[in-house]
Chains A and B, each alone.
Chain A
Amino acid sequence: MEYEFHWNIVFQKLPQLLNGAFVTLHVSVLSMLIGIAIAVLLAIAKMSDARIFSLPATVWVEIARNTPALFQIYMAYFGLGAFGIHLSPYAAVLSALVFVNAGYLTETFRGGFQSIPKTQYSASKSLGMSSTQLYRYIILPQMFRRIYHPMTNQFVWSILMSSLGILVGMNELSGETQRLQSLSFRTLEFFIVAAVMYFLITKFVLFSAALISQKVFKGEL
């Protein structure tokens, strides 16, 4: 192998890489939070009988699920730009991730909701539960249990896909790596470190998720 590794430059630039990793985490967490909020609304709209609500929700979900994330990011950046709507690279990536997260989570939430047998509603009523009690103690805990795992996966997906920020010059981990490697031309070193960082971030997220689920669900998922 002709390639000689120069690691010292990577260590010098470690603060910048860590800063990039922070931006990655930041944008993915935010995209999940906003995505969840929108997905709840979309799921309700999609289950509605009125087409005026269900149709737009369906269109959103299907576009989000059936086009590449890369396309959505370009669309948010240069596509909206053609209308004079100028998002910063951060906002473009965030909105693309929110769009997709909301699309996928809508189906997750709807599935979770519909998976609960209708008989449980009548059973709780006959036990004299109020509807707040019904949702608080019966429906939501079960639902949450069912959507927890898909939600964790979606979060990991967001972290990985935020790497597409490299294509709109965003300063998240991949974009920062790209900048640093083109200044020093140490491609392998910088991208290896970035890969390790992504791995650690996703492992950390999955580990915390497992920890939380043990606490909350007492292991029965």
Chain B
Amino acid sequence: MKLTKKLFLLVASIATVTLFSAANADQLDTVIKRGVLNCGVVLDFPPMGYFDKDNKPAGFDVDYCNDLAGALGVKTDIINLAWGDRIPSLVSGKTDVVIGSTSDTLERAKSVGFSYPYFVFKFQVFSKKGTPINTFDDLKKVKVGAALGTTYETEYLAYAKKKGWGNENYTSFKSENDAYLGLFQGKVDAIISTNTNIATKLQTEEFKEYVAGPYVPNYDDVVGLIAKRSEVAWIDYLNLFLIHQIRDGKMNQRYNKHFGSDAPADLIQALRDNK
């Protein structure tokens, strides 16, 4: 009887200590101990993230995941996310960090922790050649689409509301890929997407007959890495990582690989200034 009691106490105290120390380890420790970085990427958004012809993840964000894992000295596990999965994946601990072009709105920052900006996009109109779109205001005359729940959808809808256009000519798509497929099939006449994605699409055979149009007026899409809001030390580490990406020239290297030119000076400066 006594022995059982002692054993029980022993097990209980070991359990307590283990639990306690586990609770104390922060995300940074957890990743290093685990030896694997669970890195969420949206593989629906070339050239930031996409699947190559072998159905393997590739892109700027994927390279950033690998760079981060390299800095931490761990392996990378790339986790493919839809736009809407980004936060749930963090909250649920499925991912340690999401490198997925997340616009750093103040509304979202109530729910999730943002790093410094790591990229800046412009929102642009993309349509078939010959579609009568010269200015952004011409959109009210054609069928427009964008991916559901993205910042450019919000921006477009806000703009349309301000101008009193109504939403009859607007279609949401579940994802960025679906939006391009919809444009390709002719479901909509124009979509709103990021300048980077449009630039890569323009190089493909399928979208040879399409042109990049006007930008969404007065809007820069500044995006950051996201992590659990409470993991402050981890977010600090991510910030330092981003600074090093620029300082060590990795940012420019990756940009060159995926966009075919050096990173524009104003982009680098904007990232240095955190804006």
Which A residues fall within an 8 A CB radius of B?
2-3, 6, 78, 81-82, 84, 86, 88-89, 166-171, 175, 178-179, 181-188
Given A2-B230, A168-B174, A185-B111, 20 other A-B contacts at CB below 8 A?
A3-B91, A6-B110, A6-B111, A78-B178, A78-B185, A84-B185, A86-B186, A89-B172, A168-B178, A169-B173, A169-B178, A175-B172, A179-B148, A179-B172, A182-B148, A182-B150, A185-B87, A186-B111, A187-B87, A187-B91
Among A6, A84, A166, A187, the residue within 8 A (CB) of B174 is A166
B154 at the interface (CB under 8 A from A): yes
Instruction: Enumerate the 8 nearest inter-chain pairs by beta-carbon distance, A residue then B residue, closest first.
Output: A182-B149, A169-B172, A185-B111, A81-B185, A185-B87, A86-B187, A169-B148, A169-B173
Chain B 75-90 interface residues, beta-carbon cutoff 8 Å to A = 83-84, 86-88
State the CA gap A136–B82 with chains docked (Å): 55
State the CA gap A182–B148 with chains docked (Å): 9
Most chain A C-beta atoms within 10 Å of own C-beta, residue among B110, B174, B230: B174
Q: Contact string, B92-119, partner A, CB cutoff 8 A, digits 1/0?
A: 0000000000000101101110000000
B181 at the interface (CB under 8 A from A): yes
B-chain residues with CB within 8 Å of residue A182 when the two chains form the complex = 83-84, 87, 148-150
Among A86, A167, A171, the residue within 8 A (CB) of B185 is A86
Chain B 172-209 interface residues, beta-carbon cutoff 8 Å to A = 172-174, 178, 181-182, 185-187
- A181: nearest residue on chain B (CB-CB)? B84
Q: List 26 A-B contacts (CB under 8 A).
A: A2-B228, A3-B91, A81-B181, A81-B185, A81-B186, A81-B187, A84-B185, A84-B186, A86-B187, A88-B171, A89-B172, A166-B174, A168-B174, A168-B178, A169-B178, A178-B148, A178-B149, A181-B84, A182-B87, A183-B107, A183-B108, A184-B108, A184-B110, A185-B87, A186-B111, A187-B91
- B90: nearest residue on chain A (CB-CB)? A185
- A6: nearest residue on chain B (CB-CB)? B110
A-chain residues with CB within 8 Å of residue B108 when the two chains form the complex = 183-185
A-chain residues with CB within 8 Å of residue B110 when the two chains form the complex = 6, 184-185
Is there an interface contact between A167 and B228, defined as CB atoms closer than 8 Å? no
A-chain residues with CB within 8 Å of residue B88 when the two chains form the complex = 187
B-chain residues with CB within 8 Å of residue A179 when the two chains form the complex = 148-149, 153, 172
Q: How far is the CB of A160 from chain B (nearest CB, A)?
A: 19
A-chain residues with CB within 8 Å of residue B111 when the two chains form the complex = 6, 184-186
- A191: nearest residue on chain B (CB-CB)? B88
| Interface Cβ pair total, 8 Å cutoff | 77
B-chain residues with CB within 8 Å of residue A2 when the two chains form the complex = 91, 228, 230
Is there an interface contact between A78 and B148, defined as CB atoms closer than 8 Å? no
Among B84, B181, B230, the residue within 8 A (CB) of A78 is B181
B-chain residues with CB within 8 Å of residue A81 when the two chains form the complex = 181-182, 185-187
State the CA gap A170–B178 with chains docked (Å): 13
State the CA gap A188–B91 with chains docked (Å): 10
State the CA gap A48–B211 with chains docked (Å): 55
- B167: nearest residue on chain A (CB-CB)? A171
Q: Contact string, B48-69, partner A, CB cutoff 8 A, digits 1/0?
A: 0000000000000000000000
Q: How far is the CB of A19 from chain B (nearest CB, A)?
A: 12
Q: How far is the CB of A81 from chain B (nearest CB, A)?
A: 4
Is there an interface contact between A185 and B112, defined as CB atoms closer than 8 Å? yes
Q: Contact string, B117-157, partner A, CB cutoff 8 A, digits 1/0?
A: 00000000000000000000000000000011110011000
Known A86-B186, A185-B112; contact A169-B174, beta-carbon cutoff 8 A: yes
State the CA gap A84–B186 with chains docked (Å): 7
B-chain residues with CB within 8 Å of residue A169 when the two chains form the complex = 147-148, 171-174, 178
B-chain residues with CB within 8 Å of residue A168 when the two chains form the complex = 173-174, 178
B-chain residues with CB within 8 Å of residue A185 when the two chains form the complex = 86-87, 107-108, 110-112
State the CA gap A82–B91 with chains docked (Å): 38
- A171: nearest residue on chain B (CB-CB)? B172
Q: How far is the CB of B16 from chain A (nearest CB, A)?
A: 19
State the CA gap A168–B145 with chains docked (Å): 12
- B172: nearest residue on chain A (CB-CB)? A169
Q: How far is the CB of B176 from chain A (nearest CB, A)?
A: 11
State the CA gap A22–B99 with chains docked (Å): 36
Is there an interface contact between A89 and B171, defined as CB atoms closer than 8 Å? yes
Most chain B C-beta atoms within 10 Å of own C-beta, residue among A89, A182, A183: A182
A-chain residues with CB within 8 Å of residue B153 when the two chains form the complex = 179
B-chain residues with CB within 8 Å of residue A3 when the two chains form the complex = 91
- B145: nearest residue on chain A (CB-CB)? A169
Is there an interface contact between B174 and A167, defined as CB atoms closer than 8 Å? yes
Q: How far is the CB of A96 from chain B (nearest CB, A)?
A: 15
